[in-house]
Amino acid sequence: MGSDCHHADGVHPGLRGGALSQAIGAAETRCAATQERLTAPRRRVLELLLAADGPLKAYDLIAAFGADGEPAKPPTVYRALDFLERLGFAHRIESLNAYVPCRREGTAHRAAFLLCDCCGAAEEFEPDFDAQLQAAARTGFLVQTMTLEARGLCPACRKA
Ligand SMILES: [Zn+2]
Ligand SMILES: [Zn+2]
Ligand SMILES: [Zn+2]
């Protein structure tokens, strides 16, 4: 994804240095406030997602897990991803089968993404699902999760 696109370099740079430690610190504070623990594997997976320039697949995370180049055991990464998704620190983009860190501060929310077919950028945005959810509720259906994925071209790729 995005390997032959040169339009959008740096549009979604991963976090580095101080910005990365700040984001990890904020995640630790949020975990503590909800009686959850950001264990070493959870912290490592979150760090890899935050530092990435785009969505990562589970096998990317497994391969990059060890600071010494050692891959992780897959269940370690999958369990950490479950936790990060449950607490809203990360989202799974189903059509890409890949994960991104949540770029919105604060509480859990329904996720929506604008996905660029050219460069692979995934931009999170705030959907307004109220009408749809009310329509579903009127039929008696209980919606538990909902992720909107909209595909197209990002501003940088459109300009090119
Ligand atoms: Zn989010
Ligand atoms: Zn793009
Ligand atoms: Zn492009």
Task: Report pLDDT digits (tens) over 59-78.
Answer: 999 999 998 889 999 999 99
∠ CA 77-5-48, nearest 5°, is 20
**84/1: higher pLDDT:** 84
* Local confidence band at 98 (pLDDT 50, 70, 90 cut-offs): very high
Alpha carbon of 75 to ligand 1 centroid (Å): 24
Across all residues in the chain, what is the average pLDDT?
A: 88
* Local confidence band at 28 (pLDDT 50, 70, 90 cut-offs): very high
**10/42: higher pLDDT:** 42
* Local confidence band at 20 (pLDDT 50, 70, 90 cut-offs): very high
Q: What residues form DSSP beta bridges with 93? A: 98
Q: What residues form DSSP beta bridges with 114? A: 123, 150
Alpha carbon of 63 to ligand 1 centroid (Å): 25
* Local confidence band at 2 (pLDDT 50, 70, 90 cut-offs): very low
Kindly report the backbone phi and psi dihedral angles of residue 59, in degrees, each rounded to the nearest multiple of 5, phi listed first: -70, -25
Alpha carbon of 16 to ligand 2 centroid (Å): 22
Nearest-ligand number for the alpha carbon of 85: 1
**Ion ligand 2: residues, CB < 5 A:** 8, 116, 118-119, 121, 154, 157
Alpha carbon of 156 to ligand 3 centroid (Å): 7
Alpha carbon of 3 to ligand 2 centroid (Å): 11
∠ CA 12-78-110, nearest 5°, is 55
Alpha carbon of 52 to ligand 3 centroid (Å): 18
Tokens of 94: 């189903």
The per-residue pLDDT for 3 is 54
Alpha carbon of 92 to ligand 3 centroid (Å): 22
CB 121 within 8 A of CB 154: yes
